């Protein structure tokens, strides 16, 4: 049990007869095969797969009926088959009726570099690229890509951007495109489309042109020719993802052009082939007073100026994938443009592949947030999935956490985040409790080394219930021990965003990359004043939210220090002072992780030895990290608050000098049990 099978572990099956339309398509063959190899329903049953027009079915949706699965596309049939099997495995009755995906495109973004490294990857090297690659596709490559594509299909993911948004121009060279084609050929039978991230200056760097100006006819021609070259090899190629004029990446602004000019030029190049351009809104300049405001400021004026095959890809929060952020105010504000959410599955700011953090609750929180942009109930989910605005295209992206590690994601529970992303992209109203329940049943049921003992009731009570609860609490625990009450971006820079670093601010470093820019701690208090008396970022939210966030009395505790700079003795809703409340949150986080350790220790009879020990080791490391976070942050902030740590809080076991010295000087190798 090395976890390689993910949530698709083999299990006892029974024979089934599949009736399907005659077709030579590989997708349909995949659907039939999955059904035959995974059927656990009535032995000898007949299941009919039907392709038929049906007004109730949208995109790759499907209809389940007692006789089988009906869909409009072959992909839809495959997803219906996976739904039947998922229900059989998790002991649910398959719901008769239609299931439509919330989003047309459900995509993973791989931040994989051509040299095989993965930016913010914590599960080994890339599954797509390798340094020594002679670009011969080996059978090992193919097997791995096939397993990957199958896992995606099983949760409805239908697209993959196979290289980093900080894109190398080389990815568009003939040599690399040949490998992209090889990847696309393996992903296709599972309905996964291949996309590429492209560097805006590719016409210069790869094509030898003098400029990448999007309005220059030679540039336009270069991209058109490149698109043609790609589609000749990969007729169903998905399109481009672009990070432009952002964090040092080239973009249209280098030529005095707008994001719309840049995006539209690329959109025109792929339009003849039905291609899509996902243009990221992750932009901010070093000099602005409030990074959180910038994407909105740059993009809202461009609303309505984009071609209809452009989607603006917006990170869930206005800063950068922090453990908790309010939703990005761009959601719902761009009313005449397709907008898609981007989540980070890889745990860059939530403990890499060491800490256990089930991110479904974070995404559920974001999707359920009310933007009020078209009246109450205009949730992030509804303003991005076409329910509120007539978006031409809808999509959701997740920055993948996969690598060559045998279990794909480093931490075994990281698999749950890949799973949850797919499930939420299919149905943005799903509840995290259901997702955790499904994932645990498929990933761990029947996995004990000493099988015999556990009855179903025993397993449910002693494994499923406590571990589900642990998963549901896990993200909030990370928030508590790292960045509670709206604190953000106070992690260590030296250790690649793992562990605390509220002090980190080397001279000459751009301010908006340093934690003090975000926490603003001083003798008077702590927090970023984004109210009307500060940066006024609150004004980017729609009423009544703007007023609610603007007033510390009505601003939810979770976002308090995101929007307010408050005195250390500020009276919280709980009756505590801000300082005592902060201490209590850090302490709570530490205790939550210790509770997770106890919970997990008690699951030993129900889990195979290998995964049991792996998770146990990770939790031990996480427990240490939580104490370090608490000690470091409380001791650091105490320099400003000058207040005692309450007796109810576990006293620090570190010294501030000690943790700072350790953070600055010694890059710590990450434990890899």
Task: Give min distance, CB of 671 to ligand BDP, in A.
Answer: 21
Complex with ligand BDP: residue 328 or 442, whichever CB lies closer? 328
Residue in 146, 166, 520, 576 binding ligand BDP, rule: CB under 6 A? 166
Termini Cα distance of the chain: 16
Scan for tokens 């605005």, then name that residue.
389
Task: Give min distance, CB of 609 to ligand BDP, in A.
Answer: 36
Task: Give min distance, CB of 152 to ligand BDP, in A.
Answer: 21
Complex with ligand BDP: residue 357 or 566, whichever CB lies closer? 357
Give CA–CA dist 443/576, Å, rounded.
42
Catalytic residue among 247, 308, 569, 601: 247
The pattern of x and - marking residues 587 through 626 that bind ligand BDP according to CB under 6 A reads ----------------------------------------
Per the annotation, the verdict on 449 as an active-site residue is no
Task: Give min distance, CB of 426 to ligand BDP, in A.
Answer: 24
Q: Note whether 512 binds ligand BDP by CB under 6 A.
A: no
Per the annotation, the verdict on 365 as an active-site residue is no
Q: Note whether 348 binds ligand BDP by CB under 6 A.
A: yes
Task: Give min distance, CB of 318 to ligand BDP, in A.
Answer: 13
Relative orientation angle of helices 609-641 and 656-665, to the nearest 10 degrees:
120
What values do phi and psi take at 82, rounded to 5?
Answer: -65, -35
Q: Note whether 119 binds ligand BDP by CB under 6 A.
A: yes
The secondary structure of residue 533, as a DSSP letter, is: T
Catalytic residue among 348, 437, 512, 631: 348
Complex with ligand BDP: residue 119 or 268, whichever CB lies closer? 119
- Residues 328 and 316 sit within 8 Å (Cβ to Cβ): yes
Q: Note whether 120 binds ligand BDP by CB under 6 A.
A: yes
Q: CB neighbours of 218 closer than 8 A, spacing ≥ 6?
A: 203, 209, 211
Continuous segment of H or E residues that includes residue 195: strand 193-198
Q: Note whether 370 binds ligand BDP by CB under 6 A.
A: no
Per the annotation, the verdict on 320 as an active-site residue is yes
Give CA–CA dist 620/581, Å, rounded.
26
* Residue nearest to ligand BDP according to CB distances in the complex: 320
Of 53, 46, 52, residue with least CA distance to 32: 46
Q: Note whether 165 binds ligand BDP by CB under 6 A.
A: yes
Q: Note whether 122 binds ligand BDP by CB under 6 A.
A: no
Give CA–CA dist 633/504, Å, rounded.
12
Task: Give min distance, CB of 311 to ligand BDP, in A.
Answer: 16
Task: Give min distance, CB of 286 to ligand BDP, in A.
Answer: 15
Helices (H), 344-464: 360-368, 380-384, 414-426, 432-444, 456-459
* Cα angle 151, 316, 558; round to 5: 115
Q: Note whether 321 binds ligand BDP by CB under 6 A.
A: yes
Residue in 86, 150, 243, 475 binding ligand BDP, rule: CB under 6 A? 243
Q: What 3 state SS string does 39-105 have?
A: CCCCCCEEEEEEECCCCCCCCCCEEEECCEEEECCHHHHHHHHHHHHHHHHHCCCCCCEEECCCCCE
Complex with ligand BDP: residue 320 or 438, whichever CB lies closer? 320
Complex with ligand BDP: residue 120 or 393, whichever CB lies closer? 120
Residue in 282, 358, 528, 541 binding ligand BDP, rule: CB under 6 A? 282
Q: Note whether 320 binds ligand BDP by CB under 6 A.
A: yes
Of 417, 263, 431, 276, residue with least CA distance to 345: 417
Total of residues contacting ligand BDP (CB under 6 A): 9
Complex with ligand BDP: residue 488 or 630, whichever CB lies closer? 488
What values do phi and psi take at 372, rounded to 5?
Answer: 60, 10
Q: Note whether 325 binds ligand BDP by CB under 6 A.
A: no
Strands 525-526, 395-399: parallel, antiparallel or unpaired by DSSP? unpaired
Complex with ligand BDP: residue 191 or 410, whichever CB lies closer? 410
Task: Give min distance, CB of 496 to ligand BDP, in A.
Answer: 9
DSSP string covering 299-362: HGGGTT-S-TTEEEEEESSSSSS-SS-PPPTTTTT--SSEEEEEEE-S-TTTTTTTS---THHH
Complex with ligand BDP: residue 10 or 248, whichever CB lies closer? 248
Task: Give min distance, CB of 513 to ligand BDP, in A.
Answer: 10
Catalytic residue among 34, 74, 213, 320: 320
Enzyme catalytic residues = 247, 320, 348
**Chain contacts with ligand BDP (rule: CB under 6 A):** 119-120, 165-166, 243, 282, 320-321, 348
């Amino acid at each position: 049990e090395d976890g390689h099978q993910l949530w698709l572990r083999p299990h006892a099956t029974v024979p089934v007869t599949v009736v399907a339309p005659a077709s030579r398509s590989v997708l349909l063959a995949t659907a039939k095969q999955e059904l035959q190899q995974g059927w656990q329903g009535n032995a000898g049953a007949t299941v009919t797969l039907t392709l038929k027009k049906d007004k109730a079915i949208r995109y790759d949706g499907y209809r389940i009926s007692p006789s089988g699965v009906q869909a409009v596309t072959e992909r839809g049939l495959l997803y219906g088959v996976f739904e039947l099997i998922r229900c059989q495995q998790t002991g649910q009755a398959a719901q008769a009726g239609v299931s439509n995906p919330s989003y047309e495109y459900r995509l993973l973004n791989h931040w994989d570099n051509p040299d095989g490294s993965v930016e913010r990857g914590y599960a080994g090297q890339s599954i797509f690229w390798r340094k020594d690659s002679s670009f011969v596709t080996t059978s090992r490559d193919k097997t791995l890509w096939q397993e990957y594509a199958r896992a995606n299909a099983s949760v409805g993911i239908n697209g993959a951007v196979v290289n980093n948004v900080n894109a190398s121009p080389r990815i568009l060279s003939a040599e690399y495109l040949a490998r992209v084609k090889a990847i696309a050929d393996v992903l296709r039978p599972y309905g996964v489309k291949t996309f590429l991230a492209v560097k805006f200056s590719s016409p210069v760097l790869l094509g030898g042109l003098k400029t990448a100006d999007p309005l220059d006819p030679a540039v336009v021609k270069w991209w058109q020719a490149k698109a043609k070259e790609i589609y000749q090899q990969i007729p169903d190629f998905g399109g481009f993802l672009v990070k432009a004029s952002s964090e040092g990446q080239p973009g249209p602004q280098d030529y005095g052009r707008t994001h719309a000019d840049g995006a539209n030029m690329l959109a025109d190049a792929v339009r003849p082939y039905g291609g899509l351009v996902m243009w990221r809104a992750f932009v901010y300049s070093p000099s602005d007073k409030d990074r959180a405001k910038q994407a909105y400021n740059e993009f809202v004026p461009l609303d309505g100026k984009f071609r209809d095959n452009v989607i603006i890809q917006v990170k869930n929060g206005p800063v950068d994938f922090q453990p908790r952020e309010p939703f990005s105010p761009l959601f719902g504000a761009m009313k005449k443009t397709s907008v898609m959410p981007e989540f980070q599955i890889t745990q860059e700011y939530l403990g890499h592949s060491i800490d256990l953090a089930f991110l479904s609750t974070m995404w559920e929180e974001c999707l359920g947030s009310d933007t009020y942009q078209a009246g109450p109930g205009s949730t992030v989910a509804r303003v991005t999935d076409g329910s509120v605005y007539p978006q031409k295209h809808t999509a959701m992206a997740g920055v993948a956490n996969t690598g060559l590690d045998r279990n794909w994601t480093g931490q075994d529970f990281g698999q749950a985040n890949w799973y949850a992303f797919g499930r939420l992209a299919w149905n943005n109203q799903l509840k995290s409790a259901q997702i955790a329940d499904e994932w645990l049943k498929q990933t761990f049921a029947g996995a004990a080394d000493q099988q015999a003992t556990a009855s179903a009731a025993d397993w449910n009570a002693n494994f499923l219930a406590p571990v589900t609860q642990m998963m549901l609490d896990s993200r909030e625990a990370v928030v508590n021990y790292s960045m509670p009450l709206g604190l953000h971006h106070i992690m260590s820079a030296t250790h690649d965003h793992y562990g605390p670093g509220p002090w980190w601010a080397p001279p000459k470093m751009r301010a908006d990359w340093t934690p003090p820019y975000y926490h603003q701690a001083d003798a008077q208090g702590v927090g970023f004043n984004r109210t009307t008396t500060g940066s006024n970022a609150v004004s980017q939210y729609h009423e009544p939210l703007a007023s609610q966030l603007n007033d510390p009395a009505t601003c939810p505790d979770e976002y308090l220090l995101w929007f307010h700079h408050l005195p250390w003795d500020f009276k919280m809703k709980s009756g505590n002072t801000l300082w005592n409340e902060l201490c209590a949150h850090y302490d709570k986080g530490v205790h939550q992780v210790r509770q997770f350790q106890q919970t997990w220790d008690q699951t030993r009879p129900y889990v195979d030895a290998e995964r049991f020990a792996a998770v146990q080791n990770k939790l031990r490391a996480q427990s240490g990290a939580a104490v370090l976070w608490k000690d470091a942050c409380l001791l650091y902030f105490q320099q400003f608050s000058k207040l005692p740590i309450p007796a109810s809080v576990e006293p620090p076991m570190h010294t501030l000098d000690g943790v700072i010295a350790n953070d600055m000087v010694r890059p710590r190798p990450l434990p890899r049990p």
